[in-house]
Amino acid sequence: MSKNNKISFFVSSLIGLHTALPYIEEFQKRNINIYLIVPDALYTSLYKTKDFKLIKISDISYKNRFTLMLHALMRILFVNEDYSSIYKYWLSQRLQNKKKWLVQLIRFFQKILPKWASNQVNRNLSCWVGALLANPFPTSKIVAISLPVESFLLCSRGIQVYTIMESWDHPAKAPVGYESQKVFVWNKALKKDWDHYQGDQDIRIAYPVKLDYVISLDKHKTTKVIESDNTGMSKVTYMYPTTFGSSSSLSFFSEEKQLIHKLCHVTQSLGIVLLIKPKPNSRMGELDEFRKYGHVDIGAYQKNEGGGNYTLEQNYNEARLKDLEKANLVINLGTTFAIDAAAFGLPVLQLYIDAPSKFPYLSTIAKYPHLARHLYCYEDCIFKIDDDNDLTKQFKFLSSPADHMAQAKQFSEHLRQWIMPEMTLSEAVENVVDSILE
């Protein structure tokens, strides 16, 4: 088989596979054979398929354990801990359960060793690891869906890696750990993010595949007219999509539930229906404690085990669209679903929490780069929660649409302009595949 008619996809999760599938299908239309390189769990769920040849990542990485350890150690020692607030938290969690003497040793060398510039990390890792690792893949061209596990394998010499962005928060989460021939991101703003944090040279605009279910509606939903019931009272539904879940850090999830309880009390007193939307990877029933409030509805769950082991199937997307149809406005803390709602045309009320006494964990997300750069940057449109005033009083602005609806509409329009692509999904996929094959 010629190397020109085969290509490998390096996919680390079900949600990554969701992004990969349109591209895989386009390659197959062009008679390109696909090798799908996946973790064990994904291999087990896909092993019966005949659409592509499956390879376990573990089978390759096990044979290259030394380079795996070298790559991991270099990422810890030579990457500045302040690469981003998300990376700093990730690093502390990774070291949390290690033996004390090992953590002390790592911290010692972290202090004395020089640090690479953020945009040089991936190049340096590829250089050092690639010198020791020959191509272990069946093809020379590899399409990686961000963020890949065991990314040291993508430093191998003799390969060309093409990275496709799965989520908008990936550029600043952590160094991907390898250098890409080309990178395909959602928009110009995220192109700047990728350049700043990852340092790849050839970054191009593709498409936000995970948002196609709402973008492809090709309509700008107008604000829903507020109806009245037979008592003459207004019927208003505000949606709150959760930012954290039980598979996230429990400290963050616990604080967010405190915030939601307060929001439940406030909306109940104002006669507003509150629709609480679970995350796509929320475990079934994890928000059911809020059903005790008579005015609360819980949005669609989908069956999954939490973490990255979830996808976005058509029936789930249809259920999410039905939830959006119910809402007059979306109240957002820090979830991607604000972008979904804006693409749908709903006003988005963006909260900003700076209340370290009330919410010490939730207050830290204000430093998350993707939120700071793309949500919290519209200062005239965000609603701040602080320690200075009673939380119930701070939510009183919800009692008057005049106090928040204009900003919510303006913020939504900012997000809509930010996310709406210039091409359709099929056009973008064709362009990406053309670019990889050239």
Q: Residues 255-279: pLDDT tens digits?
A: 999 999 999 999 999 999 999 999 9
**Taking the CA atoms of the chain, what radius of gyration do you get in angstroms?**
23
The lowest-confidence range among 17-31, 77-91, 230-244, 390-404 is: 230-244
User: Where do we find the tokens 């007219």?
Assistant: 225
Question: Predicted confidence band at 390 (pLDDT cuts at 50, 70, 90)?
Answer: confident
Give the model confidence (pLDDT) of 188-203 as tens digits: 999 999 999 999 999 9
**pLDDT reported for residue 95:** 85
Does residue 4 have a pLDDT over 60? yes
State the distance between the two ends of the chain, measured CA to CA, in whole angstroms: 19
pLDDT digits (tens, 9 = 90+) for 70-117: 999 999 999 998 888 888 888 888 888 889 999 899 999 999 999 999
- pLDDT-based confidence at 306, cuts 50/70/90? low
371 within 8 A of 167, measured Cβ to Cβ: no
Instruction: Indicate the range of 5-14, 96-105, 227-236, 307-316 predicted with least confidence.
Output: 227-236
pLDDT of residue 371 exceeding 50, the answer is yes
Q: Is the preceding peptide bond at 147 cis, omega within 30 degrees of 0?
A: yes
The pLDDT value recorded for residue 228 is: 39
In order of their start, the domains of the chain are 3-208+422-437 (3.40.50), 214-419 (3.40.50.2000)
How crowded is residue 136: how many other Cβ atoms within 10 Å of its Cβ? 17
SS (H, E, C) the chain: CCHHHEEEEECCCHHHHHHHHHHHHHHHHCCCEEEEEECHHHHHHHCCCCCCEEEEHHHHHHCCHHHHHHHHHHHHHHECHHHCHHHHHHHHHHHHCCCHHHHHHHHHHHHHCCCECHHHHHHHHHHHHHCCCECCCCCCEEEEECCCCCHHHHHCECCEEEEECCCCCHHHHCCCCCCCCEEEECCHHHHHHHHHHCCCCCEEECCCHHHHHHHCCCCCCCCCCCEECCCCCEEEEEEEECCCCCCCCHHHHHHHHHHHHHHHHHHHHHCEEEEEECCCCCCCCCCHHHHHCCCEEECCCCCCCCCCCCCCCHHHHHHHHHHHHHCCEEEECCCCHHHHHHHHCCCEEEEEEECCCCCCCHHHHHHCHHHHHHCCCCHHHEEEEECCCCHHHHHHHHHCHHHCHHHHHHHHHHHHHHHCCCCCHHHHHHHHHHHHHC
Residue 178 has pLDDT above 70, yes or no: yes
pLDDT of residue 218: 63
Q: Which letter, b or e, does each residue of 24-48 get, where b requires 16 or more Cβ atoms within 10 Å of its Cβ?
A: bebbeeeebbbbbbbbeebbeebee
Q: pLDDT-derived band of residue 307, with 50, 70 and 90 as boundaries?
A: low
Q: What is the pLDDT of residues 414-430, one digit of tens each?
A: 999 999 999 999 999 99
Residue 368 region by backbone torsions, left for phi larger than 0, else alpha for psi between -120 and 50, else beta: beta
pLDDT at 374 over 60: yes
Q: Please, what is the average pLDDT of the chain?
A: 91
pLDDT for position 247: 85
> Would the CA dihedral through 80, 75, 78, 120 be positive or negative?
negative
Q: Give the pTM.
A: 0.92
Amino acid at 397: F
**Pick the residue with more confidence: 400 or 358?**
358
Reported confidence tier of residue 233, pLDDT bands at 50, 70, 90: very low
Asked if residue 230 has pLDDT above 50, the reply is no
pLDDT given for residue 311 in this prediction: 87
At 78, the amino acid letter reads: F
CA distance 88 to 205: 28
Q: What is the pLDDT of residue 48?
A: 73
